[in-house]
């Protein structure tokens, strides 16, 4: 017992040091300094941990790496008890994210950066709040609750998925853009249709360009993906063309197809 207590104390110290270090990570230049800091998770087992990804080369040929973060439930019940941490009985998910724009040799790339995490409720499929900051550091800065679906065990063998979106229009430096906002979550199983948005040219042309969807289903039952925003020029309209997704269908056959 003394050995376990000592181990838990060491773990608590390491976690506090690692979380404090997160505040020193430089994600991207911003006119608003608060957008580049990561609030501490307090004494919760649900924490934001570093997750560095490479975006490519910037306009000067320098490699660009960004810490997009990830939300992780970092301790078991016995650890949380000894370390004085609040156990996350529900799902550990992103509470607040910021959309950062990077200028690369291939053009501008917008990346979703997790700023803070929190525990969600367990037991049923429901919509949870998720705040996304668009165009930080500009006069068009706006916060949008894009929502997300969450359930841990509440759907049994089925999956908690987004079944309906609303589109919220916001202003951007390049004009208006439509952001998909989660409206309805539902337990779904087998082969089913999920929302999938594409931009279609209104003048009758054949130009159809995928821009985002409702996210992919992860093995834990958590809907991953950030619900990517859609930038809609005046000549285009947004259409939910749908997509087929399978959670419980056996693989590789039969396939879930339209």
pLDDT of residue 123: 63
Q: Is the pLDDT of residue 254 over 80?
A: no
pLDDT of residue 47: 85
> 145 CB contacts (<8 Å, ≥6 apart)?
129, 130, 131, 132, 181
Cα 132 to chain center, whole Å?
Answer: 9
> 239 CB contacts (<8 Å, ≥6 apart)?
197, 198, 199, 200
Q: Taking the CA atoms of the chain, what radius of gyration do you get in angstroms?
A: 20
> 153 CB contacts (<8 Å, ≥6 apart)?
122, 123, 221
Average the pLDDT over each of 60-64, 118-122, 145-149, 178-182 and give the range with the smallest value. Answer: 118-122
Whether the model clears a pTM of 0.85, i.e. scores above it, the answer is no
Taking residues 29-50, report their average pLDDT.
57
Percent of the chain with pLDDT over 90: 15
* Higher pLDDT, residue 224 or 210: 210
pLDDT of residue 28: 33
């Amino acid at each position: 017992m003394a050995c376990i207590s000592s181990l838990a104390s060491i773990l608590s110290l390491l976690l506090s040091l690692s979380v404090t270090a997160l505040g020193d990570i430089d994600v991207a230049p911003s006119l608003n300094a608060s957008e580049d800091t990561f609030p501490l998770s307090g004494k919760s087992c649900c924490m934001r941990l570093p997750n560095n990804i490479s975006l490519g080369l910037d306009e000067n040929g320098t490699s660009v790496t960004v810490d997009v973060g990830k939300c992780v439930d970092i301790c078991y019940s016995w650890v949380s008890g000894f370390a004085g941490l609040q156990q996350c009985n529900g799902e550990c998910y992103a509470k607040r994210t910021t959309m950062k724009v990077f200028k690369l040799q291939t053009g501008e790339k917008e990346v979703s950066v997790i700023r803070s995490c929190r525990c969600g409720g367990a037991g049923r499929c429901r919509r949870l709040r998720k705040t996304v900051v668009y165009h930080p550091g500009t006069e068009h800065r706006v916060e949008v609750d894009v929502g997300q679906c969450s359930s841990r065990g509440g759907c049994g063998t089925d999956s908690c998925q987004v079944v309906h979106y609303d589109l919220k229009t916001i202003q951007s430096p390049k004009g208006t853009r439509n952001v998909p906002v989660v409206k309805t979550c539902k337990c779904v199983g087998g082969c089913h249709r999920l929302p999938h948005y594409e931009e279609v040219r209104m003048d009758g042309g054949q130009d159809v360009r995928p821009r985002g969807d409702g996210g992919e289903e992860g093995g834990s039952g958590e809907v991953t993906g950030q619900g990517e925003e859609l930038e809609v020029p005046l000549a285009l309209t947004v259409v939910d063309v749908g997509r087929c997704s399978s959670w419980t269908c056996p693989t590789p056959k039969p396939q879930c197809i339209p």
